[in-house]
Structure formats: C-alpha cells, structure tokens
Structure 1
Amino acid sequence: MQKLIENSPIKWHHILFYSLLVAIIPHTGFWFDLNNDWPRWSTYALEHGLSQIYNSDTNYMPIYLHGLYWFGKLHGTKELIYANSFQLKYFFLLFDFAGAIAIAYALRKYYIRQFAEYMLLFNMGYLYCTTIWGQLDSVPTTIVILAFICLFERKLLWAALFCTLSIYAKLQAIVFLPFFAILLVYQLGVKFDKWVILKMLGVSIITQLIILSPFILGGTFTNFLKVVRESVGFFPRVSVNAFNIWYLFLKQDPTSINDTLIFAGLTYKKWGFIMFFTLSAITFLPLIIKTLHKIFNKESLDQNYYAQLWLTAATIAIVFFFVNTQMHERYSFPAIPMYFAYALLSNRYSIFALTSIAHLMNVDGTNKYLGLNPFRPEYTAILFGIILCISLIRIYHNFKLKLIN
C-alpha cells in the first residue's frame, strides 16, 4: 500500500493546495450560468428526472447534465441547489488539478523540474475560468489531454473512452479529433491488431450508450440531437467577447454584428470557416508528414514528436479561437495546458507564458472581476496574433530541421 501511494501521481501537497483553493475561492461567478441556468437545470432534472432534462431550455452536452442531476440529488431541494450552486466550482477545480497533474506525471521522464504541475496550478490564467468565472472549460480540456496521453502511450482502450467522453463533454472538442485519428493511425500502422480495434469500438459504443441511455429510454433523444444541430449558430455574433482577429478587421464592435451578414459575397461566418480550415491545414501538415515518416520507417514516437504534437494541438486551439465567429472569451483555454506540455518537452516557455497572459487579459477584460485589463480588446487580439505567428514559425522551423537532419 505504501509503495502504491508513493507511485501515485496525486501527492499530499496536491490535496492540501486543492483544499486551500476550495476554502478561499469566491462564491460568486458569472451570474447567468452559476446562479441561473445551471441551478435551474439541476432543479428541473431533480423534479422531472434526468431523462427529461432535454425538455427544458438546456443547450449543454450530456456529461455535464449528468453532473447537474447528481448535484441536485446531493442537495435534495430547489432552495439548497440555488444556495449552493457555487459548489460546482469545486467539481470543475478537480479537472484543473487532474489536467496539470496528468501532464506533469506523463511527461516526467522528459524533464527534471520539480513540482512542474504548479506552473499551471499557480497560474491565474489557467485557474481563472474555474475559480473566478465559474466555468467548466477544464472538464473537456482535461479529457482531451488524457486522450492524447493514452494514444501516445498506446493505452488504446482508455484512449477510446476519453476520446468518446470529450465529444459528449463539449462539442468544441471535435477540433481535436484529427489528433486522435493521427495518433491512432500511427499506433495501428506500427502494430495492427483488429481485435484492439473491435475492443475500442466496443468501449466507445458502450460509453455512448451509458451516457445517452436516460434520454433514449426517456424519449428525449431527439431533443438532444436538436441541441447538437443548433449548437453552431446559437450565438450568431461575429464575436461573443473573444478578443480575436475580428477586433482587428472590423471598426464596429464585433459582439454587435450578426455573423450571417455578407462581406465580399460570403457571410462573416463562412469567412471564419475558410480561415480556420486553411490555417488548420497549414498547421497540421508537418505533423501528418512526420507521422507518416515514422510509420513507413518503423520509428517509435520520441520526445521531439511529442513536443510537435502538443505544439500543434495548442496552435489549433488558438486558430479555432482566433479566426472563427461565435467564439466566447474562454475558448482559448485549452491552449494553456497544451503549450505547458510543449514547454516541458522543449524547455521553451515563452508561448506558454504569453498564452496565459492573453487568456487572462481576455477573460478578465470581459468579466472585470480583478480589473487586470484596462486596455482596448485590440491589444489582446494582437497578442493572440503574435502567439499564433510564433507557434507556426516554431512548427515549421522544427519540421525543417528534422528534414535536414
């Protein structure tokens, strides 16, 4: 038992620091979610059953609704649900810790820095969404991170579980599906096993059935599908407080412009898609070529490849946030832990630091809880643009050096 405790990635100081944060984080947050939507949906699930929650006005994916149902069951009454809705932060905070610890533990053989996870856990840019804003972005992000780690280490059944969970946690996780596919192609290309494929499919199907069974049996599955269909276009604005490229392109406030308006023959929404898919292709190309090279030459995945993977994933997160319409201020969050993983592997921390600052400038510039960003949104947008440019330069510089070598 003592050896098991010593080898565990979770240490006593993690528990101590988590307890300290629980004791001091404010009980306030983004009112519309923390004190309105979420307790209302939790109450609805308590009174009508989880299977009927899609008959309410919820627009969330199922995993979080499962959590709201059990949150309501835990408190038992509408009054207690509303009075204690701030406690949802404690649940989200577990995922902040899980993501930081998972990265530090999985990559520990590649670096020598002690207590590396605290570069995230002492990072206000990383913790702000949970501790101040009271949002759930750490949940899908940590699940995606676990999927990457499991795919890299060929723990394919666990990978199938986390890949499936990530989509049902937040639909935006779909932007990371190509990474799941690339790593899976490598693992199957090096060692093909049809039984493993069937087992992975089985894990994915069973996971989906467990998640969706209340809504299938309760007759509200079509309402769930409606939420999925309408998720794109739910906030038809050029920006939903994301300080991104649209603040540099447009003179008018992007939050006040409908993204279905036409510019140069196309809607702003379609221009966002064009920029996203173009930049994504540019970003992905070196990783795809490097993966194919390793498959054909029967090479194992090494530290340089791992660094390229995390750098590319973080860059895609920035691209998604920076050029698409309908982006919220929090949608750059996944880039922070992914750039952190890249930093540990490459010993280059500048992009990680810049992204932590830019994200904090955006979320607090919107929320204004700490008053950290008195500047115009355009300055934050420029910083995100610099981060994207540096990332692309790094991706292609590393790729060029590898080809020369």
Structure 2
Amino acid sequence: MKIFQRLSDNSLPIQWHHLLFFSLLVAIIPHTGFYFDLNNDWPRWSYYAFENGLSQIYNSDTNYMPFYLHGLYWFGKLQGSKELIYANSYQLKYFFLLFDFGCALALAWALRKYYSIKFAEYLLLFNLGYLYCTVIWGQLDSMPTTMVVLGIICLFERKMLWAAFFCTLSIYVKLQAIIFVPFFVIILVYQLFQKFDRWILLKMLGISLLTQFFLLIPFITGGTFWNFIKVVRESVGFFPRVSWHAYNFWYLVVKQDPTLLNDTLPFAGLTYKKWGFLLFFGSSALVFIPLLFRTYIFARFKKIADADYYALLWLTAATIATLFFFVNTQMHERYSYPAIALYFAYALISGQYSLFALVSVAHLANVDGMNKYFGLNPYKPEYTALLFGLVLLISFIKLLGFAKNLKREYTQQAKN
C-alpha cells in the first residue's frame, strides 16, 4: 500500500499512469523488428557471450560499444539457452523502452518549473516518431540519448558526480554521443566559475574512471581490450556510403542514389566524407557562438543561468544533433532521433513547439519511409530532406535572435 501511496504523490517523477502505459506498450509491442539486428546480430552476439563469456565477445564480429554488450551478455544468461535467446530476442525492446520512458520523465521532471501544461511527458510518450525506433524498429537509440539528456540535466543542476557518470556512460553506449562532449565541457566550465571546487573535479574524474573500469575490466582481463580499441578506431568508415538511408542534405545535391555511392569518391574537389566533415564542423562553429558568449558572460560576471540560457543550451544541442545527421556522410535513418528529445526540452522551456513537431514528423517520415512498416511516407526522400532543412533554417533564425542580444547583455552586465 505504501508503494501505491507514494506513486500517487504528484511530487514524484514516476506516477501510476506511467507504469500503466509502459505495461500497455509491453503487451502490444510487435515481436518483430529490423531483422539483421533484432533477429540476427544481437542474439548471435548474446549467444557468443553466453557460450564463451562476456570477456570474449569482442572476438566475435560485434562492432558495438561495451555498455550494450554487457546487456546482451546478461540477456543471454537470463534466457539460458540458444533457442530461447533467438526466440525471445524481441524482449530487448522492453529494455530500450525503459530508456524512452526515462528520457521523457527526466525532462518533464527536471524542467517542470519552466512550463505549466499537465502530463507534458506524454508529448513524447504519445509521439510515434519518438517511439518508433524502439517499438517498431527495435533499436537502442533511446539509450545514448537518455544518457546525454541526464548528463546535461545533472551538470546544469550541479549534480556533478551523477553528471560524470552519465556523461561517461553516454560515450560507452554509442560513440556518436561524442558530439555532445562540448556541451558537457561548456556547462562544467560555467559551474566551475560559479564555484570552483578541486575536490569535486577529482571526484568527477574518479567516477568517470571507475565507470570506464567497470565496463572495460572484462575485456582487459580477457585479453580482448585491443579488439575493443579496433572497434572504436574503425567505427568511422564502417558504412562508407554517402548516406545509409538518412534522407538528408545528400539527397538534395547528388543525382545518384546516395546509398550506392562510396563516400571516399571525389565530389567538387574533395571526397564526400571530407565535405560532410567540413560542413558539420563549419556550421557547428556558427551554432555554438551564442551559447559560448552567453556562457562567458555568465561566468565572468558570476550570473546565475536563467531560463533563456537553459533554452539556448537545449536549442543548440538539438541543432547540433540535427546538423550531425543532415550533412555528414554514413548517416543511418535513425540518427536524427536524439533531436526529438532535445527540441522537446527547448519547447518546454520556451513554450515554442514548432521545431519539436517538425523534427518528430521528419524523423518518422525517414524511418518509416525506409522501413515501410506503416507506409506513412509515400513521397520521395528529397521531401523529407527538405523538412529537415526547414528545421535547421528555423533553428538558425532562433539562434540568430539569441546572438543579437549578446552585445547589449554584455554591456549591461559590465555597467552593473
């Protein structure tokens, strides 16, 4: 009874209706998914670890980071046999679904003082674009996204040890989370200027090292650590195509099918891959300008970050996530997924939901346009690419609005 009484307490992030909705999704979730992952690679790697031990899983052909391989190992142990591992591989979706819920609840709970609408988390949890990767596709994109979101929240709220844990874990879930490291650093610098504490820094370093040690120790002791390093080193270039079904910039500028073009081929003086890097890092430098200068102002004048700064932080992170998907080569159709949660955070603080709605539709059009489970996208990929381009255009306009106020804000703070 005490458990149910606590769950009815509105001061808690998890409510009884969250558990009810989660149970409903578990009951109706399809037992099918993307075959090559859910019914082939993942059960095969799980069984390999079950037979040979977790420490030897990097002797298989896996190219995944350690956190998920720990999960596959324990999934195999719980199933107990090869037959059950393959027959019940769809149950991995339940694990991913925990992170979908965790991300939605964490954002709704952490940002609750910035908005007034009730049940805000269901804007994500009823969002088909947000749930598609887990419920239909059977992919783990919710895991690194949740770690990144928790890392940003904890850093902003000065929960520094938890921040070190989640920021470290995000990289060891999926290497693409490395694009959010600048955000971790920027917020950390802001917090250190607010109150410098060398012991906190040392503790954060210790937490990070312990997290990495726990994840890597099986492979270090099992003699497969260098196989892990090889996976990290070869992660860029594993799918050397201009696009791997990501309906992005390349569908607008290339006449051929981007999925059939090797990204090491020349294009306008450089390779496609180098153009992708140049476009990403060049445009990212512009995107970061408002956030960097506002952080400098807040740090120099010891000003407490306000709602506008927090909104700028989430908008910048969402724009970077969309840019990463939109201009780089080798992008999969799912790689715009983190932008949904990040634009959702921006929407909750700013009260402006257009970008969140647009990116949700664009992401759904891309993943179902490739997977064709619902047949929701009968249009050419170029139309979806244009929709992502519109999301970026609006984001740049909003960032420009933030940038215009920087000089006036600096002058005002200097006078005070």
TM-score by length of 2: 0.96
Residue in 2 that maps onto 1:193 = 197
Aligned pair 1:242/2:263, yes or no?
no
**Deviation of the 1:301 alpha carbon:** 1.1
| Cα shift at 1:401 | 3.5
Contact 2:55 2:221 in 1 (8 A): yes
Amino acid across the alignment from 1:98: G
From 393, 404, 410, the equivalent of 1:400 is 404
SS of equivalent to 1:201: helix
The correspondence for 1:228, drawn from 232, 241, 246, is 232
Choose the corresponding residue for 1:383, options 375, 382, 387. 387
Cross-structure match for 1:62? 66
Of 103, 108, 114, the residue aligned with 2:118 is 114
How far 1:107 sits from its partner (Å)?
0.3
Please give the residue correspondences for 1:112-191 in structure 2 after superposition, counting only pairs within 5 Å.
112-191=116-195
Counterpart Cα distance in 1 of 2:407 and 2:153: 26
| Cα deviations by residue, 1:335-360 (Å, 9 ceiling, x for unpaired) | 00110010010000000000000000
**What's 1:316 paired with?**
320
SS of aligned partner of 1:282? helix
Instruction: Kindly state the Cα deviation for residue 382 of structure 1 after the two structures are TM-superposed.
Output: 0.4
Residue 23 of structure 2 is aligned to residue 40 of structure 1? no
1:368 and 2:357 matched:
no
Q: Which residue of 2 aligns with 1:13?
A: 17
- Residue 23 (structure 1) aligned with residue 3 (structure 2): no
Shift of 1:400: 1.4
Which residues in structure 2 correspond to 1:297-308 (within 5 Å)? 297-308=301-312
Contact residue 289 and residue 403 of structure 2 kept, 8 A: no
Aligned to 1:217: 221
How much does 1:148 deviate?
0.4
Please say if 1:202 is aligned against 2:206: yes
Between the aligned partners of 1:348 and 1:264, the Cα distance in structure 2 is 39
**Whole-angstrom distance in 2 between the partners of 1:386 and 1:234:** 29
Check the 8 A contact 2:132/2:364 in 1, yes or no.
Answer: yes
The CA deviation at 1:402 is 5.1
CA distance, structure 2, for counterparts of residue 301 and residue 124 of structure 1: 33
Does the CA contact (< 8 Å) of 2:46 and 2:76 recur in 1? Answer: yes
Inter-partner Cα distance in structure 2 for 1:315 and 1:148: 15
Three-state SS of the structure 2 residue aligned to 1:327 is coil
What is the CA distance between 1:25 and its match in structure 2?
Answer: 1.2
What's the offset of the Cα at 1:262?
1.0
Q: Which residue of 2 aligns with 1:339?
A: 343
Give secondary structure in 2 for the equivalent of 1:44.
helix
Aligned residues: 405
Check if 1:92 corresponds to 2:96. Answer: yes
For residues 241-260 of structure 1, the aligned pairs below 5 Å read: 241-260=245-264
How far is 1:4 from its partner?
A: 5.4
CA distance in 2, matches of 1:391, 1:170: 25
Cα deviation, residue 263, structure 1: 1.7
Could you tell me which of 358, 361, 370 is aligned with 1:357?
A: 361
1:284 and 2:326 equivalent? no
Query: 1:71-129: per-residue Cα shift (whole Å, max 9, x none)?
Result: 00000000000000000000000000000000000000111110000000000000000
Stretch of structure 1 that moved more, 5-14 or 360-369: 5-14
Amino acid at match of 2:344: F
Tell me which stretches of 4 or more aligned residues in structure 1 moved more than 3 Å.
Answer: 1-5, 401-405
Corresponding residue to 1:272 among 271, 276, 288: 276
What residue ranges of structure 1 are gaps of 5+ in the alignment? none
What do residues 29-66 of structure 1 show as CA deviations (whole Å, max 9, x unaligned)? Answer: 00000000000000000000000000000000000000
The match for 1:102 is 106
Q: How many angstroms does 1:396 deviate by?
A: 1.3
CA contact (8 A) 2:314 2:346 kept: yes
Structure 2: which amino acid aligns with 1:340?
F
**Structure 1 Cα separation of the partners of residues 12 and 401 of structure 2:** 37
Q: Distance in 1 between matches of 2:231 and 2:43?
A: 19
Deviates more, 1:353-362 or 1:297-306: 297-306
